[in-house]
Amino acid sequence: GESVGLHLPTLSVQEGDNSIINCAYSNSASDYFIWYKQESGKGPQFIIDIRSNMDKRQGQRVTVLLNKTVKHLSLQIAATQPGDSAVYFCAEGEGGKLIFGQGTELSVKP
Amino acid sequence: DSGVTQTPKHLITATGQRVTLRCSPRSGDLSVYWYQQSLDQGLQFLIQYYNGEERAKGNILERFSAQQFPDLHSELNLSSLELGDSALYFCASSRQGTNSPLHFGNGTRLTVT
């Protein structure tokens, strides 16, 4: 029979622009959040994490924002490059395990 | 390279069979996690081990089992395989058991025919 793939939200940006990928999490008791990047044929790659006692954390070209009031997490990528094209997953830490969101596909146009 | 090694990379087998997937964690990591990634389910947590002991369990079927050995490598055993078990199986490891980044291997692609 026909197989149905996961319909990921897609974000398309121009090279050099900033990208913002959003994520809503479900468990108000989660105290750890993390972003991963997954390229085709590879495992998820750690980008940046944040604990619940913070609302912002910056890395190299990336910033994670956490809004616990509305249970929202975002990943900002500055000066997006073609190599940033991938699927991005947020995950929340719950009792030692990471629960992943469905992912967003980022497409960077040169 | 994450430092997590999974073997084999690809596995093709028939329904009803049993397979074993192997994972070597990063050096120094005590915790090992198994995830299943299929097209229609995303990344699903299966099970976690910490220093040889089961720490957390997710949506792991009774036909599946895992263990972590004294040298910290882990195996995921899948039995009575069904077509729907076809997926990517990822192993990840971390230093601690909670609130630390997981580092993923490149997965084993299982195809059940």
Q: Which residue from A31, A88, A35, A46 is spatially nearest to B29, judged by alpha carbons? A: A46
Q: Out of A6, A51, A96, whose CB is closest to B56? A: A96
Cβ-based contacts of A5 with chain B (< 8 Å): 39-40
Quick one: tokens of A106? 């980022």
Cβ–Cβ gap B90/A95 under 8 Å: no
- Within a 10 A sphere around the Cβ of B19, how many other Cβ atoms? 18
The Cα–Cα gap between A97 and A19 comes to: 28
A to B CB pairs, distance under 8 Å: 68
Cβ-based contacts of B97 with chain A (< 8 Å): 96
- Predicted confidence at residue A53, as pLDDT, reads 94
Cβ-based contacts of A89 with chain B (< 8 Å): 42-43
Residues A5-11, mean pLDDT to the nearest whole number: 75
DSSP result, B52-92: TEEEEE-S--TTEEEEE-TTS-EEEEE-S--GGG-EEEEEE
What's the pLDDT tens digit per position in A13-58? 999 999 999 999 988 889 999 999 999 989 999 999 999 999 999 9
Quick one: tokens of A72? 């929202």
- Predicted confidence at residue A7, as pLDDT, reads 66
Q: Answer whether residue A85 shows pLDDT above 70.
A: yes
Q: Is B9 left (phi over 0), alpha (psi -120 to 50) or beta?
A: alpha
The Cα–Cα gap between B28 and B26 comes to: 6
Cβ–Cβ gap A97/B90 under 8 Å: no
Cβ–Cβ gap A45/B2 under 8 Å: yes
What's the pLDDT tens digit per position in B34-89? 999 997 778 999 999 999 999 999 989 999 999 999 999 999 999 999 999 999 99
Q: Out of B42, B103, B106, whose CB is closest to A100? A: B42
Burial class from Cβ neighbours inside 10 Å (0-12, 13-18, 19+) for residue B113 reads exposed
- Predicted confidence at residue A2, as pLDDT, reads 36
